[in-house]
Structure 1
Amino acid sequence: GEQHGEALRGRIADGLGRWAEAIAATHGSDPDAYIAGFVRGTDYLPAIRRWTPDLLAEVAGIARGAGQPWEWIYASNLLDEEWTWAKERPAGAAPGCTTAGFAAPGEMPVLAQTMDIPNVHDGTQALLRVQGGDGPDCLVFTHAGMIGLTGGNAAGVAVVVNNLDVLPTSPAGLPVAFAVRGILERRTLADAVAFVAGIPHATGQHYGLAGPDGLASIEGWAAGVIVRAEPTPRLLHTNHPLYTEEAVGDAEPRYRRSRTRERLDYLVREAGAAGQERDGAGVRALLQDSTVPVSLGAEEPSMTFGAVVYECAVPTAMWVAPGPPHETAYQQVRW
């Protein structure tokens, strides 16, 4: 954590500064008071200490290395949770991550997503190489100061996520960034599925998982978890629940703003017939769409911060576009 904070000190400071400006503009309150209220008003620490204690120490290390207050670094690792806690949201902003996975019989599984988050984070894209823990080494795409948005490990396990903020939440569950890194500490797809199925969830999320032996799709929220881990040649998901109807309130306005159904229809249409599953290059192209759109530019309140594609051999092969993939070239990340 301290190495992360020191290496990305300037980028972390820039990102937190822009976030502070956005808090003041959106909520009309002092940013320090807002962050203090958020930290006091939630109770995620017991779940973090129980399920991923080493990651709490990593967050503290990031704060020390970056020379930033612990509360701000901790809060910046609660991206989805702060969205849920906030009393207001910027007009037009809505989750927009798009996930696609393919595992044709006898072929290497491929898992991918666009990662859509508020555009105040643009310019803080970062890639972490995590080594030396009890689990396998891993490669993690994130914003500077955060322990992880998505990643793949040396055992071939990868994870992507879709926010399902219409589902019930808990101020005492395990936050999604900590769940993502907990998944990457697992050496098999089965162990990763068991971990996600066993934790309490702070926010509604879809976890797309892959390993050398296939794909798994999990929806978790405060009141439940549904696992779809049976063998399947494809995994397609956006930002509305597919396995539960426990949405809170009127979800349709959010679905319309994020165009979640249109994006899923695009994936289904472009995925083609069964038996024609896409390889890594085909999935990279799938996520470059700017018409539905799957890939959103930085002029949008919620932008495509980046796109990742994992080819789940041992170790995982990772491709990253550190920005909207229709504007930013993919780069292969070497171990």
Structure 2
Amino acid sequence: MTTERLPIVDCVSPEPRARGREHGEALRLPIREKIERWQSATAADYGEAPSSFFERLLKETGFRAAIERHTPELMEEVLGIAEGAGIDPETAYAMQLMDEEWWFGRAAHDGHCSGAAIAPSGRDVTAMGQTMDLPAWHDGAQALLKLRGKNGTPSLVFTSAGMIGLMGFSGRGLGICVNTLSGLRSRPDGLPVAFVMRGALARESATDAKRFLVGVPHASGQNYLIGDRWNVFALECSAAGAREVAAQNGRILHTNHPLVSLDLRTDAAASENSKARLSSLHAELCDAQGRTVENIKAALASRREGAAISMERRPDMGQTQLMSIGAVVYEIGGAIRGWVTGGPPSAGAWRELSFG
């Protein structure tokens, strides 16, 4: 996918089921094509037929109860996606459980998203962004969803077709970035990452989103980077709850290893690549004193040897190998601005986004 071809789906209805139906109808073909690639990748990743693997995933976990308790409107949206795309509702539901599938199936990779946030200070406004690094079978399914809440507030959400969202920002001035922390403990009755992200994005402010993140049970280890005009926060979330990562010199940088949480899996191993990428972010944004969205864009496009933030797709790359399927940057001050790439930020142009 290239940035120029990245579709924007305008979901005009504020009602969850209808909103999901609009998403499913608009992206019906890429959703169906992605499901075929996903099922092939599942067999390769886990050595099990997709039908039996996903049957076990849904039967042996209790995510639905947490979803119905904390974000019931998002389950309605998932059912709408299934209706619009003409796919089985259980397939649409399983599609939302990306991070949960990884720990349930013990995926070989440990994640590769990299994120950064710069707190507002003086005349400098909040700036934040991340790469979204996923298995290459997601490539071609990238999309932006333009959503409206019941109060009319719009949001722009980057997604892989058929999912309720991966990362996004709202017209009220709240931005959210995420990165996997596979070394932290999971829980089979927690709230899955996609629902946590969208639930937090629906809040009025970063402080409200932080309160939501602290208050819900977490199915998967994940860092949530949240910011608005006044604050930036990072919370490392896991089975044991949420631990806040303190900003250093007005910056929060994160990759895929925990910085403060001690809720480690017994088989957790430190990722040298994650540490190297964190050092790369520090070099771009701390050592160089970068504080602007342009600095963040440059940091996300970095490809230092052994520490590449932007992962480009190679011609010989298999469908299960990781690549940057996109990146986002938000600037949140008196004005709210965003930029997106539909692939690796080192290999394509940024597109500016607006709520108009």
Q: TM-score, normalised by structure 1?
A: 0.93
2:207 counterpart SS class = helix
CA displacement at 1:280 relative to structure 2: 1.0
Within 2, Cα distance between the matches of 1:230 and 1:249? 28
Equivalences for residues 272-287 of structure 1 within 5 A: 272-273=286-287, 276-287=289-300
Do 1:136 and 1:184's aligned partners in 2 also have CA atoms closer than 8 Å?
no
> Which SS does the other structure have where 1:272 is aligned?
helix
Partners of 2:312 and 2:145 in 1: how far apart?
A: 24
Q: Is the 8 A contact 1:202 1:222 kept in 2?
A: yes
- What's the counterpart of residue 89 of structure 2? 70
Pick one of 246, 271, 296 that aligns with 2:311.
Answer: 296
Name the structure 2 match of 1:149.
166
Determine the C-alpha separation between the residues in 2 that align with 1:68 and 1:191.
35
Q: Distance in 1 between the 2:90 and 2:104 partners?
A: 16
- Offset, 1:330: 1.1
CA displacement 1:271-309 (0-9 Å, x = unmatched): 1349x3421111111100122210112235011111100
Supply the distance in 2 between the matched residues of 1:307 and 1:100 (Cα, whole angstroms): 12
Residue 95 in 1 paired to residue 111 in 2? yes
For residue 65 of structure 1, give the secondary structure of its aligned residue in structure 2. Answer: helix
- Could you say what secondary structure the match of 1:64 adopts? helix
Q: Does residue 284 of structure 2 align to residue 267 of structure 1?
A: no
1:42 paired residue among 41, 61, 64:
61
Correspondence for 1:310: 330
**8 Å contact from structure 1 (residues 154, 314) kept in 2:** no
Q: Does the Cα contact within 8 Å between 2:246 and 2:252 map onto a contact in 1?
A: no
Q: Please give the residue correspondences for 1:72-221 in structure 2 after superposition, counting only pairs within 5 Å.
A: 72-87=91-106, 89-90=107-108, 93-106=109-122, 107-134=124-151, 136-221=153-238
For 1:22 and 1:104, locate their aligned partners in 2 and report how far apart those are by CA, in whole Å: 42
Distance 1:158 1:229, change over 3 A: farther
Letter in 1 for 2:111: P
Distance 1:232 1:129, change over 3 A: farther
Partner of 1:212, secondary structure, is coil
Q: List, as ranges, runs of 4+ consecutive aligned residues in structure 1 with deviation greater than 3 Å.
A: 228-232
Q: Look up the match of 1:323.
A: 343
Q: Distance in 2 between matches of 1:140 and 1:315?
A: 18
Equivalent pair of 1:155/1:315 in contact (CA under 8 Å): no
- Contact 2:187–2:220 (CA<8 Å) still a contact in 1? yes
The question of whether the paired residues in 1 share the 8 Å contact of 2:110 and 2:256 is answered with no
Does 2:45 align with 1:26?
yes
How far has the Cα of 1:70 moved from its partner?
A: 1.0
Are the aligned partners of 2:285 and 2:295 in contact in 1 as well (CA < 8 Å)? no
Q: Please state how far the C-alpha of 1:250 moved relative to its aligned partner.
A: 4.0
Q: Which amino acid letter does the alignment assign opposite residue 296 of structure 2?
A: V
Structure 1 distance, partners of 2:309, 2:290, is 19
Using the TM superposition, name which of 181-190 and 25-34 deviates more.
Answer: 25-34
The alignment partner of 1:226 has SS state of strand
> How many residue pairs are counted as aligned between the two chains?
328
Pick closer, same or farther for the CA change 1:232–1:199 going to 2, 3 Å.
farther
Q: C-alpha displacement at 1:246, in angstroms?
A: 2.7
RMSD: 1.8
Indicate the SS of the match to 1:278.
coil
Long gaps (5+) in structure 2: 1-19
- Rounded to whole Å, the distance in 1 between the matches of 2:189 and 2:334 is 35
What is the percent sequence identity of the aligned residues? 40
* Aligned mates of 1:231, 1:46 — CA distance in 2: 38
Structure 1: stretches of 5+ with no match in the other structure: none
Distance (whole Å) between structure 1 residues aligned to residue 261 and residue 23 of structure 2: 38
Report the counterpart of residue 226 of structure 1 in structure 2: 243
Q: Aligned residue for 1:8?
A: 27
CA contact (8 A) 2:284 2:290 kept: no
Per the TM alignment, residue 249 of structure 1 is displaced from its structure 2 partner at its CA by 2.8
Q: Write the distance in 1 (CA, Å) between the matches of 2:56 and 2:336.
A: 40
Separation of aligned partners in 2, 1:315 and 1:30:
49
